[in-house]
Structure 1
Amino acid sequence: MLSGLDVSRRSLGAALMTGSVLVVAVALVASAALAPPIASTPASNGSATTLVGVQSTTTDGRLAALGPRGGERWSYANAASYHDVTPLPNGTVLATFVAHDDRPCGPYEAPCSRTGVRIVDPKPEPHVVFEWAFPVRTSKNSEVHDAELLPSGELLVADMDRERVFTVAPNGTVTWQWSASSFYDAPPDPTKTDWLHINDVDRLAEGRYLVSVRNANQLVIVERGEGVVDVINEDGDPRVLNKQHNPQMLGSDAVLVADSENDRVVELHERNGEWEVAWQVDSAGGVRFDWPRDADRLPNGNTLVTDSRNNRVVELNASGDVVWSARVPTVPYEADRPPGEYPAGDPYESDGATGVGAEGAGSAGGPLGSGDLPVFSYLVDSARHVVALPYWLSGWHLALGSGASVAFLAGLVLFVRSE
């Protein structure tokens, strides 16, 4: 027969276990219910197709073509990850990829990966009509993230493995290259470390290219025969750019950038020799950006943003209002609309007002808020690289769950001791 003390322990233990489960369940349900929608009905993009390169962390990567309501018109996988995606005039799609297969590994030990460029024809069923790739030691930080088809018929490629930008002819011959070691201090073997993480290259003019050097927080302009002729964010200030992706030149003195680790999209203008923030946005539709990795100024003047960890693509106007959005699991990398990233829309006029979406932005985490919480927010962000988590889940949920787990275990101990 239980004593009065045992009954009290049993009751307290049961209350702690039940209460901890209820608190977490209510918090999760409330957050999911109150979170803003991740996708919306389009306002004005007609029959436009949005192409998305999906990197993925939980399944195979894929190319996805989205209709105006966000549904998939077609998709193609057969790779570990896809990154850059570009519509070509003949209706095919150029995409960069990394794949694991049993083909020869060249200088590397098996198993290895292959990375490079594919051209996919979506008709009658999606299939590869061209592929150029080379072996790399690992699929992590060695992928080709970006490539562009030049008027000459050559491919312009950003190579993270050897930290270089090069052109390759249709027969696979490298016809020109710029190595980052000619401008930056290189480690003994760039293929063994994530040194600069060169992740994007755009043709600006004949023999003139914009290059994103992610780990230096810099954009550089490279000219054939000259090397680096200009540097944006020369001192690598992370408050200006922090591990950015997919810059888009909007003119000689304006560039749009997915400022990834600052969780925003930023437009920089050159004024008196200095690049300054002219416009920025850090949320859309009440959901704060989480690791955006692409931003394109569309010919219609809107901005198409790939919000990677929130698993969505969203189109904004200059005021930061959502005009279209679609959910794209898991971990989209880049999105393009025909006719492609270029021609770009115009820069936004700036009156010095920045921070669109920064004040009063809706919370993605419901009643628990979406602000950073040391350690817990970092753990949630890290987990998003590995598993698909709800976009509204935040560090506060993990902190609450951790506290509830302690309370549940304490209740369990009391309950067992009362027997």
Structure 2
Amino acid sequence: MERARRGVALVAVSLLLFSSTLVVGAVTAPDLGVGGERIDAGPADANASANAIGSANVTGTLVGSHGGGPGWHGKGSVYLIRDGAIAWQEGSADSYFDVTRLPNGTVMAGFMHSGYETGCAPYDAPCTKTGFRIIDPHAAGGPTVLSEYAFPVRTGKNSETHDVERLEPGVFLLSDMEHERIFVLEDGEITWQWNASRFYDAPPDATRHDWLHINDVDAISDTRYLVSVRNSNQLLVVERGEGVVEVVNEDRGTDDEACRGGGKQLLDFDDDGEVRCGDPGVMDHQHNPQWLGPGAILVADSGNDRVVELHKRGDRWVPVWSLESAGGMDLDWPRDADRLDNGNTLVTDTLNKRVFEVTQNGTVVWSTGTPSNSPIPYEAERLPEGERAGATAYEASGDGVHTVDNDIPGLSLALLGLRAVVPQTPFWFVETHLAVSLASLVGVVVGGVDWFRHRR
């Protein structure tokens, strides 16, 4: 009987520890809203806000949201934050990614959506498609998709078009994870493309393998494009007619395990004993680089949970400024960073479900949480300036602005997995909360078994 009482006591203590940890975490969590920009509601005065968007002088922060359902898909949207509220929101796709306001006031957005019944070949219907959409945020009746360019993909995961750039009217530059390429689309027809199989070991069928995960492409001149190859920890400068002319973070003997993704990403397909894998200490599974100018790049260094500015020193690219913490919170899988005209940096902190603006010395001057109906942000840009090649580069200043690496072996990876499976996990739920939760679960199980075996 005494053992049964101890079992009940252990269960009670474990539950108390678990609940008190969550309560303290929620109460002491940093405020995501700085400068009056905290949102968690639908559009405020949608018609008035939408009509104002057509103005060339529109201001605010435009966000492309990956979503918030299983695997982060579902609940995708594009929305504009202005004056502490969502001015408008369009949410007809499973996921949206890169967003750009065009000169005529419409918005261009990379997207992925499932359930198509036609145009699915070579795959069976219903199928998933990816590409980009043109959205009119000031259409009568609310934001409306005016047109889309889309092609079918084998799966809705790791096959999306994350980035699209408008080169000139009717001409677009796209990244393509499905076929691991970049291509130029002119009046609906592909007029040029570069396939990554020209540079990397290629699998027999790229559509069946999350091989390179090409997630971004930016025009840095009329003929040169900056390409983000996430799974190789590298950026490439690709020149039309020449191919790869520069590699940012070249393979210099790095342990290839950093790029293998547990055997699911880069593999030695040609059996030569090598894959092109950049140093994860420079950048690791990065997103959305911005070309600041010759010899300077700003990048969301997702795998290292930081934003980093790289400068070229001789034949190497080295970090000269980094941001790993802001507003009392460590960054968590950031996927976009834009250097603004005022010299500050706009950061999309994906798994903390926030977008914020920070000065060079790390001071947060503006911040917002994301809406509960579309909580996982992918990319943001400040209007009216948008993101563009060429921006202020910071002077090299030693180690830059950063905190120590707070990753905890095992727990940090487990927490990342939890947030992927359960996107609703609160932003303040960190490794210590996970450890206490697991310990509490063990206590409940052990105590429950003890009670069950010795009850009378």
SS at 2:352 equivalent: coil
> Are 1:201 and 2:195 an aligned pair?
no
Partner of 2:307: 265
Q: Deviation string for 1:59-105 (max 9, x for gaps)?
A: 42111111142x21110011110001011111111000001122231
Q: Please point out which of 98, 105, 115 is paired with 1:91.
A: 105
How many percent of aligned residue pairs carry the same amino acid?
Answer: 50
Partner Cα distance (2:365, 2:318) in 1: 27
| 1:86-235 aligned within 5 A | 86-101=100-115, 102-124=117-139, 125-151=142-168, 153-170=170-187, 172-235=188-251
> Are 1:310 and 2:352 an aligned pair?
yes
SS at 2:24 equivalent: helix
Partner Cα distance (1:165, 1:410) in 2: 55
Q: Deviation string for 1:314-360 (max 9, x for gaps)?
A: 11010111010111142100001123101653001123232x1315x
TM-score (norm 2): 0.84
Partner Cα distance (2:389, 2:304) in 1: 27
Partner Cα distance (1:26, 1:180) in 2: 51
> Are 1:397 and 2:433 an aligned pair?
yes
Partner Cα distance (2:451, 2:177) in 1: 56
Partner of 1:324: 366
**Letter of the aligned partner of 2:455 in structure 1?**
S
Tell which deviates more after alignment, 137-146 or 9-18.
9-18
From the superposition, tell whether residues 409 and 385 of structure 1 become closer, same or farther in structure 2 (CA, over 3 Å). Answer: closer
Partner of 1:364: none
> Are 1:61 and 2:61 an aligned pair?
no
User: Is the contact between residue 242 and residue 259 of structure 1 (CA under 8 Å) also seen in structure 2?
Assistant: yes
**Letter of the aligned partner of 1:349 in structure 2?**
E
User: Is the contact between residue 296 and residue 344 of structure 1 (CA under 8 Å) also seen in structure 2?
Assistant: no
The unaligned stretches of length 5 or more in structure 2 are 38-56, 252-277
Q: Deviation string for 1:255-275 (max 9, x for gaps)?
A: 000000010000001122221
Partner of 2:455: 418
**Letter of the aligned partner of 1:377 in structure 2?**
S
> Are 1:79 and 2:115 an aligned pair?
no
Partner of 2:41: none
TM-score (norm 1): 0.91
The CA RMSD over aligned residues, in Å, is 1.8
Q: Deviation string for 1:147-175 (max 9, x for gaps)?
A: 001125301001111111110112x1111
> Are 1:48 and 2:51 an aligned pair?
no
Name the count of aligned residue pairs: 398
**Letter of the aligned partner of 2:431 in structure 1?**
G
Q: Deviation string for 1:220-279 (max 9, x for gaps)?
A: 111111111111001111110111000000001100000000100000011222211110
Q: Deviation string for 1:125-161 (max 9, x for gaps)?
A: 1001121111111111110000001125301001111
**Letter of the aligned partner of 1:405 in structure 2?**
L
Partner of 1:358: 403
Partner Cα distance (2:228, 2:65) in 1: 20
**Letter of the aligned partner of 1:52 in structure 2?**
V
SS at 1:145 equivalent: coil
| 1:333-372 aligned within 5 A | 333-338=378-383, 339-342=385-388, 344-354=390-400, 356-359=401-404, 371-372=406-407
The unaligned stretches of length 5 or more in structure 1 are 1-5, 362-370
Q: Please point out which of 4, 12, 17 is paired with 1:18.
A: 12
SS at 1:100 equivalent: strand
Partner Cα distance (2:387, 2:408) in 1: 36
**Letter of the aligned partner of 1:103 in structure 2?**
T
Partner Cα distance (2:61, 2:390) in 1: 16
Partner Cα distance (1:384, 1:397) in 2: 13
**Letter of the aligned partner of 1:204 in structure 2?**
I
User: Is the contact between residue 297 and residue 344 of structure 1 (CA under 8 Å) also seen in structure 2?
Assistant: no
